[in-house]
């Protein structure tokens, strides 16, 4: 009798036990959505908005300066392109640096890396957005320069000169994208806004002068410089018409200054504690 009672109780407990339902794992967040979020984060803050707006503002100012002060014989598209390209070389790396370091300086990384645990996807999305902004900014800047070329020659009464082709445009865009990637690399490596910005200006302003002085006094550095001075080799992109040896110089020096430090920075980002 006791055995029957225990069996009846066990059957009753099995009937009352909750039924486990297997749930499918949620689908991972698509990369397109992460890129869209990172793009929106670039415009959300006042500083981000005005930093991006400064691209168009400085392009207009540079174009107006050429119209006002350049001699009539220098009112060519190349002059306007050089004028609008200079501020781009300064602003674009700053955008890349701040897009990375904001996760640490504003402590938004705790949210970003919680929602997307794979940090590499977030960093990749930031790189895609930064390069996209660079290309779009250069297109806008050169469009403003083209308008300036038409307006300037009309005011001066000279012929319109279009002395820049598609190849020249692509070389200049490539040079500015590489400069942006240097800023991006420093942001990933240092992960501090002030430190990364200072490091970029040392790289782009101080080191080239020291390298120039050393090349003028030491012949061995003059021969070695194209292979190890990334800034020096990159500057030739603005002149266009790269040879095979120059592409090799760019690849080797870029590997030393861009690829290796970026790899170290990514390794640190994937393993460092976000506070």
* Domain-located, residue 59: yes
Q: Which long-range contacts (CB under 8 A, 24 or more apart) does 45-52 make?
A: 47/98, 48/98, 51/91, 51/94, 51/95, 51/98, 52/95, 52/133, 52/137
Distance CA 256, CA 275 (A): 30
Residues spanned by the domain of 51:
29-265
* Predicted local distance difference test score (pLDDT) of residue 13: 52
Give a yes or no: residue 206 inside a domain: yes
**C-alpha to C-alpha distance for 161 and 78, rounded to whole angstroms:** 9
Residue 227 in contact with residue 252, Cβ under 8 Å? yes
Assess if residue 2 is contained within a domain.
no
CA–CA separation, 178 and 100 (whole Å): 16
User: Whole-angstrom Cα distance, residue 177 to residue 172?
Assistant: 9
- Whether residue 14 lies inside any domain: the answer is no
Query: Does a structural domain hold residue 21?
Result: no
Is residue 271 one of the residues assigned to a domain? no
For residue 22, tell me if it sits in a domain: no
In a domain, 9, yes or no: no
**Nearest Cα to Cα of residue 172 among 57, 53, 77:** 77
pLDDT tens string, the chain, 275 residues long: the values are 455 454 555 555 555 545 565 666 666 778 888 888 888 887 777 777 888 888 888 888 988 888 888 888 888 888 888 888 888 888 889 888 988 888 777 666 667 777 777 888 888 999 999 899 888 888 888 888 889 888 888 888 888 888 888 888 888 888 889 999 999 999 999 988 889 999 999 999 899 999 999 988 888 898 899 999 999 998 888 877 788 888 999 999 999 999 999 999 999 888 877 66
Specify the pLDDT at position 4. Answer: 47
Task: Map residue 243 onto helix, strand or coil.
Answer: coil
State how many domains the chain has: 1
Give the pLDDT of residue 235. Answer: 86
pLDDT in tens, 90-143: 888 988 898 888 877 766 666 777 777 788 888 899 999 989 988 888 888 888
pLDDT at 163: 82
Please tell me the pTM assigned to this model: 0.84
pLDDT at 6: 47
Instruction: Tell me the backbone φ, ψ of residue 7, rounded to 5 degrees.
Output: -65, -40
């Amino acid at each position: 009798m006791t055995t029957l009672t225990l069996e009846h109780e066990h059957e009753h407990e099995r009937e009352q036990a909750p039924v486990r339902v297997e749930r499918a794992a949620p689908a991972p967040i698509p990369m397109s959505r992460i890129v869209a979020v990172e793009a929106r984060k670039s415009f959300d803050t006042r500083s981000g908005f005005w930093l991006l707006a400064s691209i168009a503002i400085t392009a207009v100012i540079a174009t107006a300066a050429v119209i006002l002060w350049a001699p009539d014989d220098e009112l060519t598209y190349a002059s306007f392109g050089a004028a609008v390209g200079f501020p781009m070389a300064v602003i674009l790396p700053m955008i890349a640096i701040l897009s990375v370091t904001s996760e640490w300086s504003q402590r938004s990384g705790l949210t970003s890396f919680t929602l997307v645990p794979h940090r590499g996807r977030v960093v990749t999305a930031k790189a895609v957005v930064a390069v996209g902004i660079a290309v779009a900014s250069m297109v806008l800047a050169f469009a403003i320069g083209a308008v300036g070329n038409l307006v300037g020659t009309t005011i001066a009464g000279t012929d319109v000169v279009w002395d820049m082709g598609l190849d020249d445009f692509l070389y200049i865009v490539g040079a500015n994208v590489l400069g942006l990637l240097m800023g991006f690399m420093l942001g990933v490596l240092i992960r501090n806004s002030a430190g990364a910005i200072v490091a970029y200006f040392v790289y782009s302003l101080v080191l080239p002068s020291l390298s120039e002085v050393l090349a003028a006094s030491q012949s061995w550095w003059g021969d070695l410089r194209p292979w190890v001075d990334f800034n020096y080799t990159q500057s030739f992109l603005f002149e266009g018409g790269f040879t095979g040896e120059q592409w090799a110089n760019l690849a080797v020096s870029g590997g030393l200054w861009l690829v290796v430090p970026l790899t170290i920075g990514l390794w640190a980002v994937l393993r460092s504690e976000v506070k």
